[in-house]
Amino acid sequence: MTGVVVLQGGGPFTANDDLDRRVLADAGVDRIVVLPTADAYEQPQLLVDAALAWGARIGVIVEPLMLLTRSQADDAAAAADQASIADPHD
């Protein structure tokens, strides 16, 4: 699988809709995957909910990839299961 990765700070999913729209349009992207690892020990679902609302606002599909801990990421079966949920080509 190939794609574009953009790491951008400053108000995730709230402050950059115009920039996000341009970057995604230039990349030809209509679907993104969100890994809420930074919020893993807080409330990752809040970030996922914000991402889903953002996707609705800017017209992209948002797929959460809920690998929140190192052990989940290192577990090949768990990672493959989550990746297959997020990958429409499987």
Instruction: Per residue of the chain (90 residues), give pLDDT as tens.
Output: 566 676 666 567 877 888 889 889 988 989 988 888 877 778 888 889 999 999 999 999 999 888 888 888 788 777 676 666 555 554
pLDDT at 8: 63
**Can you give the C-alpha Rg of the chain in angstroms?**
13
Rounded to the nearest 5 percent, the helix, strand and coil shares of the chain are 50, 10, 40
Residue 86 confidence (pLDDT): 53
Q: How far apart are the C-alpha atoms of 46 and 34, rounded to whole Å?
A: 12
66 and 36 Cβ atoms separated by less than 8 Å: yes
Rounding to the nearest 10 degrees, give the CA dihedral for residues 20, 21, 24, 28.
Answer: 180
pLDDT at 32: 87
pLDDT at 15: 78
